[in-house]
Amino acid sequence: MDKKLFTHLLSKPSTVAAFLRCLSEIETAGATWIVAAPAEFWTTDLHQHALDELRHAKRLGDLVRKFRVDGPAKVQADLEDRWCRATASYLKQLLSSAYRRVPKDATPAEHMLYLYAGLALAVERRLMKIYPTLAKQAHQPEVRELATQLIAEEKTHLSLVTRTIKTNGFEKHAEVIVEIEERLAQKWFEILTRSPETEAKNEIKFSTSFSGTRLPVLSF
Ligand SMILES: [Fe+2]
Ligand SMILES: [Fe+2]
């Protein structure tokens, strides 16, 4: 895991809170992407997966509010705004990359599986690099405890997604999405480790490539 990023984000409660908010948004996006599966493909496993991600988002969000105590003051609000925009941009680019790589002749069932398998694998792998680091290195016991609990469920999700990929022969497709995610995550980390001054210089460029903080939604 990126050492520079973790040294930076674990250094004080305000950055921990901002990063937990980013993770909460990733969990919410993950749940939204699963929920986008058409009803005819809905299974008990998918239902449980979506429910787990929503619960993760909520528990992370509860900790964000705890560390902020009385709500975000201006400096904290600006930090969270910058990081949430970077996170939404990372998610948006991941989603559009996965969309572009669904074969044109895919049936509706394959379309859903290509997206679910690729996106879920990439995001679960990313979180399984982040949560173990938080479980070991976070200064706050609440963060270490929550990360430890989330790891157990993310492992189950990773097994489920890996099984789906193997059963459907989507290994090569999933590998491509994982490689794309690696590159996007590096860009995301770069923004999270920038100082506000450096970020301000990049603001114009950043604004033209992404506007707004709304999470990317998956639909068919
Ligand atoms: Fe999760
Ligand atoms: Fe998960």
Report the amino acid identity of residue 211: S
CA of 86 to the centre of ligand 1 (A): 19
Q: What share of the chain is helix, strand, coil (3-state, %, to 5)?
A: 80, 0, 20
Confidence bin at 143 (pLDDT 50/70/90): very high
What angle is formed at CA 83 by the lines to CA 82 and CA 88, rounded to 5 degrees? 100
Residue 219 confidence (pLDDT) above 80: no
Report the amino acid identity of residue 56: H
CA of 152 to the centre of ligand 1 (A): 10
Mean pLDDT taken over the chain: 86
Q: Count each helix (H run) and each strand (E run) in the chain, helices first.
A: 8, 0
Of 219, 41, 63, 60, nearest in space to 153 by CA = 60
* Residue-level pLDDT at 206: 39
Residues 6+ apart with CB under 8 A from 124: 154, 157, 158, 161
The conformation of residue 195, written as its DSSP 8-state character, comes to -
The conformation of residue 169, written as its DSSP 8-state character, comes to T
CA of 186 to the centre of ligand 1 (A): 20
Ligand nearest to the CA of 24: 1
CA of 200 to the centre of ligand 2 (A): 33
Confidence bin at 150 (pLDDT 50/70/90): very high
Residue in the structure block whose two tokens are 């990439």: 122
Note the Cα 74 to chain centre separation in Å.
25
Of 36, 37, 34, nearest in space to 53 by CA = 34
CA of 44 to the centre of ligand 1 (A): 17
CA of 128 to the centre of ligand 2 (A): 9
Confidence bin at 203 (pLDDT 50/70/90): low
CA of 49 to the centre of ligand 2 (A): 7
What confidence tens digit (pLDDT) does each residue in 21-80 have? 999 999 999 999 998 887 877 889 999 999 999 999 999 999 998 887 666 678 888 899
CA of 207 to the centre of ligand 2 (A): 30
- Domains of the chain in sequence order: 3-207 (1.20.1260)
Confidence bin at 13 (pLDDT 50/70/90): confident
Ligand nearest to the CA of 156: 2
How many Cα neighbours within 13 Å face the side chain of 203? 10
